[in-house]
Amino acid sequence: MYAIVEIAGKQYKVTENDYLYVARQDAEENEKLSFENVLLVAGGKDIKVGTPLVEGARVEATVIEHVKADKVLVFKKKRRKRYRVTRGHRQPYTRIKIDSVKG
């Protein structure tokens, strides 16, 4: 059984026991999360497509850890003007484990 769920504005295809990196969530480690924005639930030959959401469907997950992505370097330069700027950015993510897909 799998589901298409919307988490923080992005859509993910999830099944039970999957691990995902999603945008940073306001939850502590080992805390349970529940996502109600389920767009599709499929299991075997039974497929439920939401208009726009599937009624009563839900995805349960557990927060594993909070991490940061690899550093992205941004370099700006204007020639002949002695202007150079280097900046870095690391996007924060939350690693979650999908416990169950109910639909």
Residue 26 lies in a domain: yes
Residue 74 lies in a domain: no
Domain that holds residue 35: 2-66+94-102
Residue 82 lies in a domain: no
CB hemisphere CA count around 32 (13 angstroms): 6
pLDDT value of residue 44: 86
The alpha carbon of residue 45 and the mean position of all alpha carbons in its chain are separated, in whole angstroms, by: 27
Given a cut of 90, whether residue 103 has pLDDT beyond it is no
Report whether 71 contacts 87 (CB < 8 A): no
Q: What's the structural domain count of the chain? A: 1
Predicted TM-score (pTM) of this structure? 0.85
Residue 22 lies in a domain: yes
> How is residue 81 annotated by DSSP?
T
pLDDT tens profile 54-87: 999 999 999 999 999 999 999 999 999 999 999 9
Report whether 103 contacts 57 (CB < 8 A): yes
What are the φ/ψ torsions at residue 58 (nearest 5 degrees)? -160, 150
Residue 79 lies in a domain: no
Residue 42 lies in a domain: yes
Q: Which amino acid is at 39?
A: L
Residue 72 lies in a domain: no
pLDDT tens profile 3-35: 999 999 999 999 999 999 999 999 999 999 999
Residue 37 lies in a domain: yes
Distances (CA, A) of 23 to 12, 40, 42: 12, 21, 25
